[in-house]
Amino acid sequence: MKYTHLGRSGLSISRLCLGTMNFGPLTDEPTAFAIMDRAHETGVNFFDTANVYGRRQTPPGQVADNDQSHAGWTEEIVGRWFAQGDGRRERTVLATKVYGNMSDLPNESRLSALNIKRACEASLRRLQTDYIDIYQMHHIDRDTPWDEIWEAMDVLRHQGKIVYVGSSNFGGWHIAQAQEAAKQRHCLGLVSEQSLYNLFVRDIEREVLPAAAFYGLSLIPWSPLQGGLLGGAARQAREGRRRLQGLAKETLETKRPQVESYEKLCDELGAPPATVALAWLLTRPTVAAPIIGPRTLAQFDSALPAVDLDLDGDTLARLDDIFPGHKPAPEDYAW
């Protein structure tokens, strides 16, 4: 495994991040434990979760199964894995998130100082740890002043409950707001931004990537395979090995020529499409570690070769031809 620093911090993280969102709703606890054990065996030390993870995603046409499903379930699974000891917690760079609704009560969501305090303490209990390495704001809260947010985060840091602060789903302007407010308070501010980014969805190249680079943040892409569409979906559907539904099916129907051209290029490279998609992200400026969200041990293992796949200039240019990107703003849309 290869490692890099997270943003301008001295923290070393693996170039792949283990996303845990499937743990509980789609991946049972023994399999989740096996995946996390394998992550450590292969050198993946960066794990990402969130306080809201655990609600079961019910496929269209199926009756909801609410057995055990609840916000916090995923953190509880990770916590029980840590509780086995043997250095599991110490060898893990742990990231979780705050913002989403944990109940119907009015102060059980978003980024008020009260919710940040309560949510952090609840996550610590579920995770069975006394500190969180990277505490991430899961979304921008336009109604809470930055002074209030940073004061709450500073209190948690001074108490030793969090080490770094990150953001997720922020715009470039939000990153600028956060960092300028942190600068006025003489605190470190954000070290990372977690955004939707893949060959299909490159919107953050206009504003978010330039802001992250300017302020010294690492980019942590989520959904690197665009719901599986960049993982060989066209061939799998054609061969009857995969049945796409909903948005993924609609997207494949409208973008099939792109996907098929991409899969043909991957065949020429002799690499699986998912490996190429992850390797491409690892070439992008400011990207530290794409988040992989395996449901099975085999899916986890299949992501590892991406770290060692080098894409040459010609290949990168052909990928840009298939999936056109964006220039930084305003050149992307103005003279």
Q: Which pLDDT does position 64 carry in this prediction?
A: 47
Question: Distance between CA atoms of 109 and 103, rounded to whole angstroms?
Answer: 8
CB 189 within 8 A of CB 179: yes
215: annotated active-site residue: no
Q: Which of 3, 53, 197, 262 is catalytic?
A: 53
Q: Name the amino acid, one letter, at 61.
A: G
Question: Distance between CA atoms of 208 and 189, rounded to whole angstroms?
Answer: 16
299 pLDDT exceeds 50?
yes
274 pLDDT exceeds 90?
yes
Task: Read off the pLDDT of residues 144-161 as tens digits, 9 standing for 90 and up.
Answer: 999 999 999 999 999 999
Task: Read off the pLDDT of residues 188-213 as tens digits, 9 standing for 90 and up.
Answer: 999 999 999 999 999 999 999 999 99
Report the predicted TM-score, pTM, of the whole model to 2 decimal places.
0.94
Burial (0-12, 13-18, 19+ Cβ within 10 Å), 319: buried
141 pLDDT exceeds 90?
yes
Q: Which pLDDT does position 60 carry in this prediction?
A: 46
Q: Which pLDDT does position 227 carry in this prediction?
A: 86
Of the candidates 74, 29, 20, the one whose C-alpha atom is nearest the C-alpha of residue 51 is 74
Q: ∠ CA(81), CA(83), CA(86), 5° rounding?
A: 90
CB 197 within 8 A of CB 218: no
Mean pLDDT across the stretch 169-193?
98
58 pLDDT band, cuts 50/70/90, is low
Q: Which pLDDT does position 254 carry in this prediction?
A: 87
132 pLDDT exceeds 90?
yes
Mean pLDDT of the chain: 94
**Is pLDDT larger for residue 254 or for residue 273?**
273
Mean pLDDT across the stretch 217-241?
88
What architecture does CATH give domain 3-322? Alpha-Beta Barrel (3.20)
**Is pLDDT larger for residue 57 or for residue 328?**
328
239 pLDDT exceeds 50?
yes
Q: Which pLDDT does position 240 carry in this prediction?
A: 72
**What does each C-alpha distance from 186 to 79, 216, 261, 264 come to in angstroms?**
33, 16, 50, 51
Mean pLDDT across the stretch 63-86?
86
Of the candidates 6, 4, 11, 8, the one whose C-alpha atom is nearest the C-alpha of residue 179 is 8
> DSSP string of 189-207?
-EEEEEEE-SSS--GGGTT
38 pLDDT exceeds 70?
yes
Task: Read off the pLDDT of residues 3-17 as tens digits, 9 standing for 90 and up.
Answer: 999 999 999 999 999
**What does each C-alpha distance from 86 to 11, 62, 125 come to in angstroms?**
22, 40, 19
H or E element that contains 137? strand 132-137
